[in-house]
Structure 1
Amino acid sequence: MSGSGVFCPGDEVNTAAWGFVSAHAEMFGIKRICRVLEVSRSGYHRWIAGARARTERQSEKDALGKEIREIHAEHRGNYGVLRVHAELRGFGHTVNRERVVRLMRKHQIVGRHLRKKKRTTIPGRLAPPVADLVQRDFTAGAPDEKWCGDITYVQVGVAWLYLACVIDIRSRRVLSYSTAPYMRAELVIDVLEAAVAARGGDVTGVIFHADRGSQYTSAAFAQVCGRYGIRRNMGSVGSSYDCQSLRAGSRKDRVVPAVSV
């Protein structure tokens, strides 16, 4: 009986072929199995001779895999291939990155990746300029002197919702907030009108600070601000100093703990 239907020419170098011979050697004999399968006995004996080396390599892989799991756990699952590899090299292991990739894939070890942030500030290119009335002075002597607003996003189940709010800079009180599955001017207009209603409808002269996102620079939002006598304020484009100044000002001038509605 020919073994060509089981092992093709060249399969002698395959571990599965020698494993088959080894598993059935006691029952049929090595010589007979090798003749039927058309594989060489010398190749089989070389494979047996290398069994110890294979066992040592497997033990080395197991030990390295264990150390990778320990490094990953020690750093709370944050480390990916690059950092795990660097850590191993720091411990004196001469291991290449591809091997670390294979072992991490085998043990289903994955580092933590930063989520791609949603962009909530998209400047309105055609919007008319708005004066910077605050000049990064985020302090207020009384309520309803300065407000600020912004848009962020929150995950609800498998979907995302955009959250807009209005905060009184003096008291740090959240005057109003609203969520929507979209990020249009209607969202910030609804929130602003709710804040005006929460203050009794008369907010003439209040300064409203926001970023230069298209929602706050839109003509519709400007019209609503004009209707209530609200003076719009915007800082420089993409400046983190506004946020830092706002936080610093709130700590300096805070007299009432933050209260949300």
Structure 2
Amino acid sequence: MDAHKDRFGVEPICTVLQVAPSTYYAAKTRPPSARSVTDAATTEVIKAVHEDNYGVYGPRKVHAEMVRRGHRVARCTVERLMAATGLRGLSRAKGPRTTVPGTGPDTRPDLVQRKFRATGPDQLWVADITYCRTFAGWVYAAFVVDVFSRRVVGWQLSTSLL
């Protein structure tokens, strides 16, 4: 509204926006709320803690560091303010590397020419491998599926890809 009030006036803009002009004037003269003042101060501390730790701390560690420095603030407030300012921590967890590219050309022939159709059972089987994170670590599952019936013909679970 401030950008256009010189050209159109406050009252016509408020009429179009269906806002009372007194609401606009009250918002302009009202002092900032206590929450916005504390949020601004807390955001500066969060930015300092985040930068001091090379930008790798997430909300949990930023909150713990703030408490150690004597700033009492709720963890949910740290989460909210970090999200609002776009600060994020870095995750060390990476998915497993399941595909290792070969050094030479792929000389294996495509025997089905990418047409995964079969007219009867046991004519074409396809295989796939996937992985799932568990409390004990990564678990790998390999499946062999009959293309005609779409049923699992065989499967194997392992904690390694070997």
TM-score by length of 2: 0.45
If asked which structure has higher relative contact order (CA below 8 Å, sep 6+), I would say 1
Flag the structure with higher helix content. Answer: 1
TM-score by length of 1: 0.30
